Amino acid sequence: MILYKYKLNGLQFQTNSLGHAIKDTLKNGGSKIYNNQNNLIVDTSKNTFEITYNDYVFIVDAINKKYIDIPIKYYPNSELETHLEYHTGAYNYLYSKNVYHTLRAYINLSDAVFTLSNNDTSYNGYVLFNHKVIDQIDVGLCIRYVDNEVVVQPFYYYMGGVKPKLFYLDSIVLSKFRQLSHNEFKGIHNYCIELKATSSGWYFKIDVLNTKISYEKHVFIKECMHDSLIGRFLVGASLVPINDDLWDPLCGASFKNVTFDKVLLNHDTYLYPSKESMLKGYSQGYPFANMKTKGHSFIFETIYTLKKG
């Protein structure tokens, strides 16, 4: 077991969690952190400092206690991204070009695994679909641990502009994950999700396949706000820390094997990594977020551990 050692106010501390050592030293003005071979791992007393996980570098603003740069891996033929969300954990995003107004996608969560963190930070998993015309909206599935269960609930997040920002998580439970062990849960159901722009906002529908459960919602923003319905879609999956800007990529939490199948735009064009319909796609926080393709599907995963070797 690796132990991390540091001094605060002349006292020696040690922990087996690098994330805990970083947060503890930042809270107390910073310190040098060593491993049990007395190798310097990181110096949190600097205004900005680097944390290296294998060869992957994360940069932290020590004053504001948040990441200001983390690794990113682009999919083939992707444009560069300039508006990254460092506080929302590791995620996979795939953007379409700006010529679409309807989306239908199949989401396979029956192979998905949701693992709880081994520290005091909780995480929510999200499978999201974003459409941007003038304003924009996220809709989709929120996977969260509550009352000793992992549940799947519909949500939307209106991102502001014409009206104030609004995050809405419906109380309805679409499905639950099956518990595999004390901290690991596996999905049961698959989903079909539709999202389309309307003249006054958006409409979305979620069908839980092979059940009688169907959920739909009209999100009204303003009459005739969309002079044109043309816009771009984003599909993504993430494992988002709850109230923790300095999330720990070694905490053991995971949301993996999230399969997107037949993401259809405007009823005639498929969105897929590196296809002509794609504008950009990337994994933020790589290698903790990653993407792989399988036939005509693609699989997103976030795993907050480092693979050996």
Determine the Cα–Cα distance for residues 66 and 102; give it in Å rounded to an integer: 36
pTM, full prediction: 0.95
Q: Are 177 and 254 in a shared domain?
A: yes
Q: What is the number of residues in the chain?
A: 309
Per-10-residue mean pLDDT for the chain, 309 residues long? 90 94 95 94 96 95 95 95 92 97 98 95 97 95 97 96 94 98 97 97 97 97 90 98 93 97 96 95 97 93 85
**Degrees, nearest 5: CA angle 222-224-227:** 130
Same domain? For 140 and 245 the reply is yes
Q: Is 252 found in the same domain as 239?
A: yes
User: Do 91 and 307 touch, CB atoms closer than 8 A?
Assistant: no
309 occurs within a structural domain: no
Of the residues 19, 48, 68, the one at which a domain ends: 68
Same domain assignment for residues 33 and 110: no
Q: Does 10 share its domain with 124?
A: no
Whether residue 147 is found in the same domain as residue 37: no
Q: How many helices (H) and strands (E) does the chain have?
A: 1, 27
Report pLDDT for 291. Answer: 97
One domain, residues 61 and 85 = no
Q: Which of 68, 83, 111 is the last residue of a domain?
A: 68
Q: Are residues 198 and 64 in the same domain?
A: no
The total domain count for the chain is 2
CATH number at 159 reads 2.60.120.1270
Residue 308: inside a domain: no
Q: How far apart are CA 158 and CA 135, in angstroms?
A: 8
Within this chain, do residues 136 and 219 fall inside the same structural domain, yes or no?
A: yes
Whether residue 52 is found in the same domain as residue 167: no
**Residue-range definition of the domain harbouring residue 146:** 71-303
Task: Provide DSSP, 64-97.
Answer: TTEEEE--EEEPTTPPP-----GGG-SEEEEEEP
What pLDDT does residue 46 have?
Answer: 96
Residues 34 and 166 in one domain: no
Amino acid 306: pLDDT: 87
Same domain for 201 and 185: yes
Report the pLDDT value the prediction gives residue 308, as an integer from 0 to 100.
66
pLDDT of 76: 94
Please give the order of strands across the beta sheet that includes 66-69.
48-53, 56-61, 66-69
Which pLDDT value is given to residue 227?
A: 84
